[in-house]
Amino acid sequence: MTRLALVVFLVFTTFNAQSQSAIPAPPELSATAYLLIDAYSGAVLVEHNADMSLPPASLTKMMTGYVLAEEVIAGRVKEEDMVRISENAWSQNPLFNGSSLMWIEPGKDVSIADLQRGIIISSGNDSTLAVAEHIAGTEAVFAEMMNTHAKRLGMTNTHYVNSHGLPDPAHLTTARDLAILAKAMIIDHPDQYKINKELEFTYNNIRQYNRNTLIREDPSVDGIKTGHTKEAGYCLVASAERNGMRLISVVMGTKSTKARKNDTAALFNYGFHFFKTETVIEGMTELDKPRVWKGLQDYVPVGLLEKVALTLPRGKHDNIETIVVLNEEIVAPLSVGDPVGTVTVSLDGEVQFEAPAVALAAVEPAGFFARLWDSVLMFVAELFGAR
């Protein structure tokens, strides 16, 4: 699967102002729940009620868009496919009264590409339902698909009932789950994600503007979704990239569009100012070259297959310590990726990352007499405690 960056997933870490005296406490926001994470390392920089179950409103459409992107990648849907609009997906459906719409009409054919923009830019409940019916036949079946993807992504506190986010008591998610979903959309489907930055979309001679106004005000912001209902309040999931560092912000339950925008901007400013994400170990880089027994080669390069990025307080990356501990005996045959020890990255005595050290090259077994001789040497070494 295409990735913007291949990063070993880190343990989610919330940085505490008491343990990082150089960093002030994060801003206290008006939102009911909020979360700020690094998109690639997964480090949690700020959180408040991040696991509280809340109605997502149109943030639901993030998952609708994700499912659509997955179907396009799988080849079951094409952007040029034409969708016949049903009575259910008609913009005049009473269910949609007073809500955001793309303004599609029953009996007409609309392309997937247009419906996709209707979902992302116009936040159209009608276009969302049209896509759900086209993919799954009914919205109920599509909701099952949404829940299946949510479970696969690790969104453990999310349950979808519909494709658009209009209120239902069982239709709930959390700020943490939305951050997981945003991260998956950005990394798994970068081409589809680019649509989030488009400022406007015109369909049926009706021009509509991207509701994420931060995209116009902050050039580092390039997505991802707004939401609002009376039950959910004003919500915003956003992502920004500055100097190679990408953050994801989730703000839920504010009282106005201005409040959700200001809360999001405050989180981004705090995160980018006080933290930095850097690659501390490159993938396929030799960290050690230990002895291999019973192999055609005597030594094997050891390291990590994927790069490791750490999000730490600014100025702290110079203080990290990387330790490689190898198994007492490394015996051929070895394949690339076989574990041969442990890599640990620590900061001020606290483990920030730990993973198996693996062979970066294959080692074929030696011939019979060479293996026999190495067996003798290994026995002698063990006998005299030389290992």
In the set 41, 58, 127, 239, the catalytic residue is 58
Question: Does some domain include residue 22?
Answer: no
- Close Cβ partners of 64 (under 8 Å, ≥ 6 residues apart): 119, 128, 131, 132, 142, 146, 163, 164
pLDDT in tens, 298-332: 999 999 999 999 999 999 999 999 999 999 899 99
Q: Is 30 a catalytic residue?
A: no
Do 165 and 183 lie in one domain? The reply is yes
- Please tell me whether the peptide bond between 190 and the residue prior to it is cis, using omega within 30 degrees of 0: no
Other C-beta atoms lying within 10 Å of the C-beta of residue 285: 11
Do 309 and 267 lie in one domain? The reply is no
**How far apart (Å, rounded) are the C-alpha atoms in residues 232 and 80?**
34
Which of 277, 301, 318 lies at the terminal end of a domain, its last residue? 277
Q: Is 194 a catalytic residue?
A: no
Residue that is written with structure tokens 């759900």 in the block: 132
Question: Does some domain include residue 201?
Answer: yes
Which of 277, 307, 322 lies at the terminal end of a domain, its last residue? 277
Do 197 and 248 lie in one domain? The reply is yes
Which residue segment(s) compose the domain that 306 sits in? Answer: 282-383
Question: Does some domain include residue 17?
Answer: no
Do 293 and 265 lie in one domain? The reply is no
Do 197 and 67 lie in one domain? The reply is yes
Looking at residue 1, what is its pLDDT?
34
Do residues 235 and 56 make contact, with C-beta atoms less than 8 angstroms apart?
Answer: yes
Question: Does some domain include residue 309?
Answer: yes
Average pLDDT estimate for 234-251: 97
Q: Which tokens is 323 given?
A: 């330790």
In the set 91, 99, 123, 163, the catalytic residue is 123
pLDDT in tens, 107-159: 999 999 999 999 999 999 999 999 999 999 999 999 999 999 999 999 999 99
Q: Which residues pair with 10 in a beta bridge?
A: none
Q: Is 99 a catalytic residue?
A: no
Do 92 and 228 lie in one domain? The reply is yes
Do residues 54 and 174 make contact, with C-beta atoms less than 8 angstroms apart?
Answer: yes
% residues pLDDT > 90 (the chain): 84
Amino acid identity of residue 80, one-letter, is E
- The domain that holds 357 is classified in CATH as 2.60.410.10
- Provide the H-helix boundaries in 164-233: 175-188, 190-193, 214-217
In the set 61, 183, 294, 316, the catalytic residue is 61
